[in-house]
Structure 1
């Protein structure tokens, strides 16, 4: 059976995440302490006892979700993925799971990415919105009609659910046009900026410098990367696609379809929440998807 492991992105965090890992699993505790040292602050304390507001800071959210996913994966009993993928930030977790990146190196990159994205968000007022009930092609067409400002398709989450990203005025204008075109709903998302759009170019430049200096190994299995939605095993190509991801769209629908076409018979979501399991079920009703989230903490607490 071809078993795909998938990893969630920003937005899946929750209060207390990872605490039972730390309390009950010596390997998990060691990894958390190593993470605290690398980051230069005790992210474990924020994850275990911080408020929702604390966890919403991009510089905290991204490493927190990464750590919950990766520490959970590394504490599983001999997981053997045939393929991996991650949604946005989750792609870094996927690259640890298939051996492309060492845990420490991936965490350093996630921290650089989070801080660079935070700065880019503060530089230009921008936002994202989810559009429900429109064909992807129609969403693309509407975005393309707005030529005097920035608004682009950002996340192809599942059929009938696409997130757009751009400046506040452009996104609000696009939302009205989407509703006029027949969208069931178009709603602003509570995010700090226009992720996966050209407005992330300053962050991309900073991340590119860090990625190019980092060692990427040949993976043990392919990763299905967001921007190309196909299997990738060449470290140089993985680097290139990871850099492009900050300003490019997350083609999650297409990634899942490609994994199924390549023989994926079971998907396991590792990390906080169940978002990806829900999306996979909407992408292909016949797909077998399970997850190890809060239950994962109990499973590895041995």
Structure 2
């Protein structure tokens, strides 16, 4: 039986997310370290205005993910495996010992700027529930073109999908999806078209930067949500980190892999509860809980109980 830490992606951000972290030494140290690397107070990043920027969102998700991981570690709780959705792959890589936190901050600074500069306005993502992959792909095919791009981006569950692309095209796909039987369709709080070929050029630029960094072999199981498999080779993890902005997310398959590898308990790092809800719906044998909606002492107690069963 294993403990899985899940790190959310863009769209999970909340105003004040850095200020709502537990009042611990580990959090204070993480915030101070972040501010020192960035050259300004990182707590300026989580205002409502700041979080309109992809740059601020991605940095906040990295910082809170690492801070919460350190809080658990200080209480003797270290996961057996980690997985991150989109930007969440970076705090997951830090937790696994693949990346240093300082390198992760610098890479996320670059990643967020590349994404934001490539598509500053008019693009985004939308969630569509109630249709399967094949039904939604037929709709996408009707509206996609080089001038009206739209792609299937995330397969979060069998009938919980996400599309990326031009917002005007997303609107058409959403409308057609509802007409075709989708239970709902809504725009996500993401201002860039993640997880599609529109970011192939940016991914190559990310790879150049990652190639200059010394990556370490993971000290625990690192699951790729894009490949839906465990990665052990640091070079392959680096390729995965660089390319994930341009690759589909296979979250459903990755959760299935986690269970096959023994995951029985999953904690979703701040912020949000989406990953917890997906795991709860999918796992017939296992428990998923979100840090945002659970007491820290309860989570620690559950993790220690799991550890005692392993011994």
Compute the displacement of 1:147 (Å): 4.8
- C-alpha distance in 1 between matches for 2:234 and 2:103: 14
What is the CA deviation profile of residues 103-133 of structure 1, one whole-angstrom value per residue up to 9, with x for unaligned ones?
A: 11111111111111110122x6322221110
SS of the residue 2:94 aligns to: helix
Q: 2:138 aligns with which of 117, 136, 141?
A: 141
* 5+ residue gaps, structure 1: none
Q: Map 1:246-265 onto structure 2 (within 5 A).
A: 246-265=245-264
> In 2, are the aligned partners of 1:6 and 1:269 still within 8 Å (CA)?
yes
Show CA shifts across 1:29-56 (max 9, x none).
Answer: 2221221121222122343xx3x22223
Judge conservation of contact 1:155–1:162 (CA < 8 Å) in 2.
Answer: yes
Contact 2:133 2:158 in 1 (8 A): yes
The corresponding residue for 1:12 is 12
User: 2 CA distance for matches of 1:21 and 1:147?
Assistant: 41
Distance 1:26 1:262 in 2: 33
Give the direction of change, closer, same or farther, for the CA distance of 1:178–1:295 in structure 2 (3 Å limit).
Answer: closer
Give SS of 1:134's match: coil
Aligned length: 295
**Matching residue within 98, 101, 110 for 1:100:** 98
Q: 2:124 aligns with which of 127, 138, 152?
A: 127
1:91 alignment counterpart = 89
**Counterpart in the other structure of 2:66:** 70
TM-score, length-scaled by structure 1: 0.89
Q: Is the contact between residue 131 and residue 163 of structure 1 (CA under 8 Å) also seen in structure 2?
A: yes
Mapped contact 1:65–1:271 kept (Cα < 8 A): yes
Residues in 2 aligned to 1:4 and 1:297: alpha-carbon distance in whole angstroms:
16
TM-score scaled by length of structure 2: 0.87
Quote the residue 1:203 is aligned against.
202
Q: State how far apart, in whole Å, the 1-side matches of 2:112 and 2:296 are.
A: 25
What RMSD over aligned residues (CA atoms) do the two structures have, in Å? 2.3
Taking a change above 3 Å as real, the CA distance of residues 192 and 221 of structure 1, as seen in their structure-2 partners, is same
